Amino acid sequence: MRRKLAAGNWKMNGTSESLAEIDTLIKEHAEAGCDMLICPPATLIHRMADAAKDTNLAVGGQDCHAETSGAHTGDISAVMLRDAGASHVITGHSERRVDHGERDETVRAKTLAAIEAGLTAIVCVGESLKEREASNTLDIIAGQLSGSIPDTVTGQNLVVAYEPIWAIGTGKVPTLDQIGEVHDYMRSRLERRFGAGVARSVRLLYGGSVKAGNAAEIFGVSNVDGALVGGASLKAADFGPIVAALSASS
């Protein structure tokens, strides 16, 4: 039985004052029926991990370098994230792929580094609006899954997040049938490559304008094991109802 996961990606948002939101989230959802994860900016990882110690909230990074160390100014390695208290890291987010030109092979190398450092990698895949309109969605997803995920993954160190690029931060949400089609397809692709045991234990998240008003219906879709949430994860008042909806669907 896969335990559901509500993951929040704060992106380039949050200062010391934002840690109060974590205290509220932990207090109000101490008995949540799902796992909770927040990926804050790197400047807050250590303090957030301390605040979340011995609670049901995990802390992750938003990206990592493929190398353990070296002359890579401004970058952070997976080992450093682990040392700061992170247990997860996002790799291949669409904003990294688009804004920084990251290709599947780069995402694969980062994912491998994360796993070797003892982190759980949340590998993101998703299509653009142009690709969706050209009916290429499943081909794009297949290529990203194949190219971005290393052979060493297990159901414990891999999470896959489907984030249709055209739905992120736009308020647009695919239909439930479209979400279900992609999630079912991802499960079948993973099973074909890694076998049923691994594939059925990997959690598949949906990410793309998830909010309190649509969370419950999205969590009722086949093979949706949770959500990767952007803006709605910045405030406990917004993220809490998503956690509650996911707990109710578990």
pLDDT of residue 170: 77
Give the 3-state DSSP-derived string for the chain, with helices as H, strands as E and coil as C: CCCCEEEEECCCCCCHHHHHHHHHHHHHCCCCCCEEEEECCHHHHHHHHHHCCCCCEEEEECCCECCCCCCCCCCCEHHHHHHHCCCEEEECCHHHHHHCCCCHHHHHHHHHHHHHCCCEEEEEECCCHHHHHCCCHHHHHHHHHHHHCCCCCCCCCEEEEECCHHHCCCCCCCCHHHHHHHHHHHHHHHHHHHCHHHHCCCEEEECCCCCHHHHHHHHCCCCCCEEEECHHHCCHHHHHHHHHHHHHHC
**93 flagged as catalytic:** yes
Which listed residue (65, 93, 102, 181) is catalytic?
93
Confirm whether 163 is a catalytic residue. Answer: yes
Low-confidence ranges of the chain (pLDDT < 50): none
Do 37 and 7 form a contact (C-beta atoms < 8 A)?
Answer: yes
pLDDT computed for residue 4 by the predictor = 97
Q: How many CB atoms lie within 10 A of CB 138?
A: 14
pLDDT at 7: 98
| Angle between the N-to-C axes of helices 19-28 and 236-249, in degrees from 0 to 180, rounded to the nearest 10 | 30
Q: Which of 95, 102, 127, 163 is catalytic?
A: 163
* Among 6, 47, 5, residue whose Cα is nearest residue 236: 6
Q: CATH for 5-249, among 3.20.20.70, 3.40.50.300, 3.40.50.1820, 3.90.550.10? A: 3.20.20.70
